[in-house]
Amino acid sequence: MPALTTSSDGFLLDGEPFRIVSGAMHYFRVHPAQWTDRLRKARLMGLNTIETYVPWNLHQPDPGGPVALEGLLDLPRYLRLAHAEGLRVLLRPGPYICAEWDGGGLPSWLTADPDIRLRTCDPRFTDAFDHYLDLLLPALLPHMAASGGPVIAVQVENEYGAYGNDTAYLKHLELALRSRGVEELLFTCDQTDPAHLAAGALPGTLATGTFGSRVAASLARLREHRPKGPLMCAEFWIGWFDHWGEPHHVRDADDAAADLDALLTAGASVNIYMFHGGTNFAFTNGANHDHAYSPVVTSYDYDAPLTESGDPGPKYRAFREVIARHAPVPDKPVPAPSPKLPRTEVEFGRRAPLLPYAHALSESVRTELPVTMDELGLRAGYVLYRTYVPEAGDGLLRLRGGVGDRAQVFLDGAPAGVLERERHEEALPVRVPRVGATLDVLVENMGGVNYGPRIGAPKGLLGPVDLNGAVLYGWDCHPLPLDDLAAVPFTPSTVTTDSVPAFHHGTFDVIVPADTFLALPGWTKGQAWINGFPLGRYWNRGPQRTLYVPSPVLRPGSNDLVLLELQATTGTRALLTDTPDLGPVAP
């Protein structure tokens, strides 16, 4: 018998009244060596439950391939640690998760099919997800409540009412979970708009709402939709995420705490989104695309109670006081901030320009016209497109289909300009220095759209390229996933300024590893790795000005820092600091 059931107005856990006081923490956004620390801090704030999405695209990166369950993706270990901490778990396996995550968690190998009808009963979609569940669930079933584990409820889809109204599709997902051994309570989650609730709910499952304010009105709409049963806010938004080029979003702690108190006073259960946001390491950030394409920054701090580096912030104390009025809170002090690394400078002494050595990083694919990243089988990263120009002089270079998402143009290795999807740019005036000049177009995937109808929008060059109206043919396409930097041909360098894409390698010494933040004054845009661990994207466009470096990434003694700087740098140093800088706050 499932451990969590519902009554006419609440939840029962093993037959006893139970209120869910949960917080969101995505295991895939937190270094695995820090899971235990973060889960303990969740319990000490007064949470009795932890919630997490499950990103299909990370767990099954190849079509029909095995499901990855190691390292950052060791979900069974995460569930064991939550259980050991005395926390219950809400599991949200998708298939779609949103989460400001690359592609909303849907695999690019699936969304690349231009004819597929995502999040419907299209058998190309449901068969792929069914196969994924066949591989994923056997490892998770031992952690379900029916087997004595911590997972007390499982979500069906995610905010589906904002996308579609295919009840048969939701029913398929319900049966897919049930037929594979999931006995626990199932729930749906939608914004508390009546139309969303009507389209996204599924008879026989618990309907929950998502909102961050107007608590009484939101709960009333939820009650109108379901006259009986528990009231639950499955995503209580207490902060927000940031896009590149926008201010950093924060929410006043007292304001959020007052709304949390209103929720709990009303007798509702809650899942705080986020309790601990974490980081979009590597190339995992998502993007929004309403009027314009807007990629999400590397930090997923979310102005959460627990900061990106795991330190209690103002909301931690405020929420703990609120929860203590409604539920037991451990009689322990608020955890202290983690130790931070002393200020450390990193000197760069080796360099490798990208354009001349792209062939060392990947084999090229020869095509008559440029092909997309999807057609090259590239899930994330960059593609270098190369051809030769048959004429010299001034002209207008046009990317006929546009770019996904950002193109840097070079002629004989010299920068000629940048075109961005974000700014709806497709044409660039150029001066071709000679007949037969090399044209390089370096395209960056800035993150897959995670919400709305543009999920799966292609990346790379999206059509022919022409110069003065004449199409250019004969392209070498170099996919650059950059998941292994061993082949980067570094050589000693004393360059103090740079204007072309290049890798830069530096070293620094650590006595005792501790959390730190990478600051890059004088650098423009690129990616950073420490000891091979991908910290993520940096960009002086802001708001984010530092990258979080988890202490387990560091080691006593010598450490390596590698930057891929895409545009320009005016120095040979980087700085590790004890203070994060997520940028100016939104007014």
Report the C-alpha gap between 207 and 387 in whole angstroms: 55
Report the C-alpha gap between 586 and 327 in whole angstroms: 34
Query: 217 φ, ψ to 5°?
Result: -65, -40
Q: State yes or no: is 375 an active-site residue.
A: no
- Exposed, middle or buried by CB within 10 Å (0-12, 13-18, 19+), for 219? buried
Catalytic pick among 174, 235, 422, 426: 235
Max alpha carbon distance in the chain (Å)? Answer: 80
How big is the CA angle at 452 (ends 161 and 209), to the nearest 5 degrees?
35
Under 8 Å between Cβ of 164 and 199: yes
| ω into 194 cis (within 30 of 0) | no
- 3-state class of 194 per DSSP? helix
- 3-state class of 464 per DSSP? coil
Q: State yes or no: is 100 an active-site residue.
A: no
| ω into 274 cis (within 30 of 0) | yes
- Burial code (b: 16+ CB inside 10 Å, e: under 16) for 57-89 equals bbbbbeeeeebbeeebbbbebbbbbbbebebbb
Q: Which amino acid is at 484?
A: D
Q: Give residues with Cβ within 8 angstroms of 409, minimum separation 6.
A: 397, 415, 416, 417, 418, 419, 428, 430, 439, 440, 441
Catalytic pick among 85, 100, 159, 420: 159
- 3-state class of 118 per DSSP? coil
Report the C-alpha gap between 523 and 526 in whole angstroms: 9
Report the C-alpha gap between 422 and 486 in whole angstroms: 32
CA distances from 110 to 105, 409, 460 (A): 11, 30, 17
Residue with tokens 């009689």: 331
Under 8 Å between Cβ of 312 and 337: yes
Residues marked active site are found at 159, 235
